[in-house]
Structure 1
Amino acid sequence: MTHVLAIGAHAGDLDLTAGAVLAQHVLRGDRATLLHLTLGERGHPRLPIPDYAEQKRAEAERFAEAIGAGVRFLDYEDGLLPEDEDVKLRVGDLIRELRPDVILTHWSESIHKDHARTHRIVQDARFYGGLKTLERELPAYWASELYYADNWEDADGYTPDVFVDLSDEAYEVWSAAITGYAYARGETYGFPYVDYYRALTIVRGAPAGFRRAQAFAAPKGSRDLRVRYFGKAASP
């Protein structure tokens, strides 16, 4: 059984960009967990921040339930996500607790500083999670695979080289679940996230010979892959 951990800066980030892959793993009997470092509570132009925070948390919980994933939240503020040893150690401790085989997160360059910070936080947290000489409450654990999700806000220098073939069932589960987010429906700033990312599955799938795919970038030095699943069961 493969466990995929998706770590996003805001509730909804990895749900949107990697949610179909998470749903597919759950459908095949694997585990998936979403970790949100902030709720993204400053992302609504009309709702008060506390009200939108409550709404985003409920949306994130419903999304995770709909695709069969677990969900965790940290308590950092949207737009003010720190990049210090405290947050890196907290995420590293969660890696030790959850013991994922695969981590999915943001690319390094982004128009949103929380996304770029999350990328760097996860790099160090993965290191701290696997560092045997770093004494923490739980024993060290190294997450063996790391990939960066395909997000239009994180496009600078991003080149996808991992294309995950999506089953019709996984696509439909994700496609229905993601509409539970108001921002994805275009109700905050009007960007048609649902339409964009549904269409992107076709755009990313076609060059790889798949009907639909979600794409990821592998760390430098990894070979190109066309895969049906992440983890040990993945095949080129």
Structure 2
Amino acid sequence: MSKNHKNSNNSVLAVVAHPDDAEFLCAGTLSLLHQKGWQIHMATMTAGDCGSRNLPPEEISRIRKTEAQKAADVINAGYKCLGSKDLFIMYDRSTLLKVIEQIRRVKPAIVLTMSPSCYMVDHETTSKLVQSACFAAGIVNIKTDPVSPYFHVPHLYYMDPMEGKDKFGNFIEPGFVVDITPVIDTKEKMLGCHESQRSWLQEHHGMDEYMDTMKQMSAERGNLGGVKYGEGFRQHLGHSFPQDNLLQEVLENGVKPIKQKS
């Protein structure tokens, strides 16, 4: 077991921008960790308050938080909304403190978050907030009373960007792929809890076939690792962050290297 992991709990925290981001990008991996006996925690920066053409922000937020909790319940995960607003996730003191506090409460060994480069600034800002919060959680002069500092830098992993590409349309190759083939039905069940988001995407994005889109994305990532369905991740390996791959250690053969093109 990783030396760095010995000082932490068997818990994982996924911090995403909006309800259903985790279900598209990392729910399979969370399900596999749940099967390994890990404690699963999910957090969204917003409640999805702009995700409707017909309902006011307060009403759609209530609906989408209920859907997010229902999805988390599938794998017995905790869920928390951190209270930002859609398109207004800010990298500022108050928002960063909320993320630091969540990490200190959960005390995760592993943190999963959005890609640093993606089609939407909410996703990119969430990524930056989580990177800083992982580093800052143990700094005693940053106060989040009554939660005390967490003296451990978690293993931090970035999920795939949506459609596997950055905002310039460039393909983003993951560092490795998690084989989620055994739990694709669980991932599908979790995504199916977000009924209101499916309607929103149909109306605003012209995006239908909600489940098929998720499975297509999972199949494309799985192909990179030589499996039927997969989720891609890149590990944050900057100074002071753990250098060993804890996800690979825990999931063992479920973590696949990227196949080299012939």
- Answer whether TM exceeds 0.5 for this pair: yes
Give the alignment's TM-score, normalised by structure 2: 0.79
Change (3 A) 1:53 1:188: farther
The residue aligned with 1:174 is 187
The residue aligned with 1:105 is 113
The residue aligned with 2:158 is 148
The residue aligned with 2:230 is 213
The residue aligned with 2:5 is none
1:10-36 CA-to-partner distances (Å, cap 9, x unmatched) read 121122211111112112211111111
Change (3 A) 1:110 1:209: closer
**Structure 1: distance between partners of 2:243 and 2:173:** 13
Change (3 A) 1:52 1:187: farther
Change (3 A) 1:128 1:50: same
Q: Percent identity?
A: 24
Change (3 A) 1:103 1:71: same
Whether the aligned pair in 2 keeps the contact of 1:24 and 1:167 (CA below 8 Å) is no
The letter for the 1-side match of 2:217 is: L
**Structure 2: distance between partners of 1:100 and 1:180:** 25
The residue aligned with 2:54 is 46
The answer to which of 199-208 and 70-79 deviates more is: 199-208
Aligned length: 232
Match for residue 36 of structure 1 among 44, 54, 61 = 44
Task: Work out whether 1:139 is the aligned partner of 2:145.
Answer: no
The letter for the 1-side match of 2:31 is: A
1:67-123 CA-to-partner distances (Å, cap 9, x unmatched) read 221111111211112211221122112111101111111112233221111111111
**Structure 1: distance between partners of 2:231 and 2:92:** 31
The residue aligned with 1:55 is 63
**Structure 2: distance between partners of 1:77 and 1:10:** 9
The residue aligned with 2:174 is 160
Whether the aligned pair in 2 keeps the contact of 1:106 and 1:119 (CA below 8 Å) is yes
Give the alignment's TM-score, normalised by structure 1: 0.87
The residue aligned with 2:216 is 199
**Structure 1: distance between partners of 2:19 and 2:237:** 27
Unaligned runs of 5+ in 2: 1-8, 256-262
What is the deviation of 1:135?
A: 5.1
Whether the aligned pair in 2 keeps the contact of 1:23 and 1:68 (CA below 8 Å) is no
Change (3 A) 1:101 1:136: same
Match of 2:117, SS state, is: coil
Whether the aligned pair in 2 keeps the contact of 1:10 and 1:36 (CA below 8 Å) is yes
The answer to which of 109-118 and 54-63 deviates more is: 109-118
The letter for the 1-side match of 2:227 is: F
The answer to which of 113-122 and 132-141 deviates more is: 132-141
Whether the aligned pair in 2 keeps the contact of 1:93 and 1:136 (CA below 8 Å) is yes
Match of 2:218, SS state, is: helix
Whether the aligned pair in 1 keeps the contact of 2:19 and 2:68 (CA below 8 Å) is yes
The letter for the 2-side match of 1:172 is: D
Q: Computing the radius of gyration over CA atoms, which structure comes out larger, 1 or 2? A: 2
Aligned positions of 1:42-121 closer than 5 A = 42-121=50-129
Unaligned runs of 5+ in 1: none
1:144-168 CA-to-partner distances (Å, cap 9, x unmatched) read 3111112327731532112111242
